[in-house]
Amino acid sequence: MRTWRGRGVVVAVLAIALASGTVAFSSSGGARPERVAAPRPTAKATVNAVDEARTAHDKKTNKAVTAAAKKNSPPVVAAAVLTPVAPTTTPTTQAAAAPLPTTTTTQAAVPAPAAPVVAPAADPAIATLVAQVEASGIDPGSNWSWSMGDPATHCAAMSGAGTGCTYGTGGQEFTIFAGSPNLALVAHELANAETQNDAVPALMNEVTTAEDGTSWSPTDAVASCLVEQFMGFQDDAAGTWQCSAALGAEVAAHIHDGS
């Protein structure tokens, strides 16, 4: 670049000299050319002319270099930026399996077996009273038993908070209690069972004469005498009959004469 720039300066200086008319030639024949004196350019004008020539040369040079660079430079290819595309997953919808057909078998209803008849549970309070009466000496016998139920099934209808009925069949004695019988009633029914099991006819006749129809029956009269003897009180369970202590002692002494 410096070499080219130096040659341009020489050419520019020469052009300036010619333009200023320093050298002049005459066209008249044979005559020696006369040197015409021209005004010498000033130093400032010379410098300006050199700078303009240099600038013009530099512009040409730059254009040439730029053209060469464009000619030799490889074409610029715009690179396309590829954006990765996420793989798409297509959801697979699976049809729900149809439920298997169910077969309903209708079975004829079988009648439930009849519930067994269960005797009512014994009242613990009555059991305690029974044990108390037996401990006193009244003995209904080994063939006797008691239960809870309806006394009217085997005896006449009765009323009250507690009732009882004693009956015998097939050599067995049974007492049925209902409600909440008191100690006097429980003792009277156990004495009834003992009377029916053991009382001899002679004793029955003696007590029947003594009660004279004031008792519900000769059996009830004897039972009240046993209660008076062994429990020490009137049970008031045989009508208006009141057994004396003397008769009660006699009944207790002879109740088992036939055994």
Q: What is the pLDDT of residues 30-56, one digit of tens each?
A: 444 444 444 455 545 544 554 555 555
pLDDT at 110 over 70: no
What is the number of H-type helices and E-type strands within the chain? Answer: 7, 3
Ramachandran region, residue 6 (left: φ > 0; alpha: ψ -120 to 50; beta: rest): alpha
- Read off the pLDDT of each residue in 183-202 and give the average, rounded to a whole number: 94
Q: Are 190 and 134 in contact (CB under 8 A)?
A: yes
Residue 238: other Cβ atoms inside 10 A: 26
User: What does the pLDDT average to over 145-170?
Assistant: 90
Which of 15-24, 173-182, 231-240 is predicted least confidently?
A: 15-24
Instruction: Output the CA torsion 144→145→150→156 (10° steps).
Output: 10
Pairing of strands 162-169, 172-179: antiparallel
What was the pLDDT predicted at 51? 55
Please compute the mean of the pLDDT values over residues 14-23 and round it to a whole number.
44
Helix axes 218-231, 245-254, angle to 10 degrees: 100
Task: List pLDDT tens digits, range 247-258.
Answer: 999 999 999 886
CB atoms within 10 A of CB 157: 8
Are 162 and 181 a contacting pair, CB within 8 Å? yes
Residue 74 in this model has a pLDDT that exceeds 60: no
